[in-house]
Amino acid sequence: MATIETMTSQETMHLFDRYVIPNYKRYPISLVRGEGAYVWDAEGNRYLDLFPGWGCNLLGHCPPRVVEAVREQVGQLIHVPNTWYMEPQGRFAQQLSERSFGGQCFFCNSGAEAVEAAIKLARVHAGKGRYKIITCENGFHGRTLGALSATAQPKYHEGFEPLLAGFTYVPYNDLAAVARAIDEETCAVLVEPIQGEGGVNVPDPEYLPGLRRLCDEHRLLLVLDEVQTCMGRTGKWFAYQHYDMTPDIMTLAKALSGGIACGALVAEPNVAASLRPGMHASTFGGNPVATRAGIATIETIEEEGLLENVERLAARFRERLGRLQSPSGVVHQVRVRGVMIGIELAVDGTPVVAACMERRLLVNCTHSTVIRLLPPMNLTLDQCDEACDTLAEVIQKV
């Protein structure tokens, strides 16, 4: 087999300038290899990655069990359509069901696709005349037209109007606002249990149970977008498990298969029954490679005790980053739920991201002023301390 010579970052950038649509703002670095919490660029520089894969790489880069499962599977069966049965898909569905609320699974390839499926299922289950869905301000549900319509942030809507009709936006963490928005045409409430893109916003303890009660009272479906919070990100398999409630539907993606593209919808069996043959489909959804990777992801989390490690990391991040917080300083608030961390600044966070990158630390800024960290759940405490030291130094200089 012929080997491909590694280009320099500059050579790869020239290639993109010529052949790739420039719809992303990209950093001037070409990454070529990853292992655990680290990635390397074409020039051999190593970076500590606290935002691996935009949250997809919850096990870090190239987790060994996932790599081995994928290698084995691609030598057996790469893809067959969903007109056939596939053991890996059935086994993965069972594992997700048993670790959540006993629902049934529909598989797709991304979070946006999972949300689209949830929108369709909520409408068809409610029946004729009930089609409205309540969503929250500062939420984010994806870039496809239906998911974009469910996303209340106007900056994502520009240029794509008219959006899909039927979405009502209310403030997050406000039960009274949800109650006021319900009418006879409402079929569901769709909400993130923790808002990610909106700034790592953690709701009050009574919020999700309160939504459950409202939905029960008005015969609405409660749909939780767990795309960013699933697979142990918050210290439990799913974020709703921190509260005394269960959803009717939840959407999953990002970390679902250890970095391999995979999305899913999990629905209560009586709700799932409304999605009949011919109503919805996904060509690549639930393919053997992605679902084998998902099984290996669950095995890694359980066999390495990573849910417990998330709690240790959360405590360390909370303690270390909490020192930066002061009423009159640059850091207004630090929000930590498992390995989902938001550092709210009093200034623009873009220079912080750039300064961290210069020091070989990769972080993200969302909502303009929130430094967002989604580190791998197998990060070591030493790596955590190294990252916090760099962040402290950079933020203090800002």
Residue 164: HSE in the Cβ half-sphere, 13 Å Cα cutoff? 17
Q: From 89, 82, 139, 84, select the one nearest 115 (Cα to Cα).
A: 139
140 in catalytic set: yes
Q: For tokens 């749909």, name the residue.
A: 223
Compute the distance between CA of residue 238 and CA of residue 241 in angstroms, rounded to an integer: 6
225 in catalytic set: yes
Both tokens assigned to 16: 């993109």
368: helix, coil or strand? Answer: coil
| Main-chain phi, psi angles of 331, to 5 degrees | -95, 115
Compute the distance between CA of residue 304 and CA of residue 311 in angstroms, rounded to an integer: 14
Give the active site residue among 92, 132, 167, 225.
225
The strand ranges marked E within the chain are 31-35, 38-41, 46-49, 104-108, 132-136, 167-170, 186-191, 221-225, 249-252, 263-267, 331-336, 341-345, 361-362, 364-366, 370-373
Give the active site residue among 92, 106, 107, 140.
140
Give the active site residue among 51, 92, 254, 317.
254
Residue 11, Cβ neighbours under 10 Å: how many?
Answer: 12
Tell me which residues are annotated as active site: 140, 225, 254
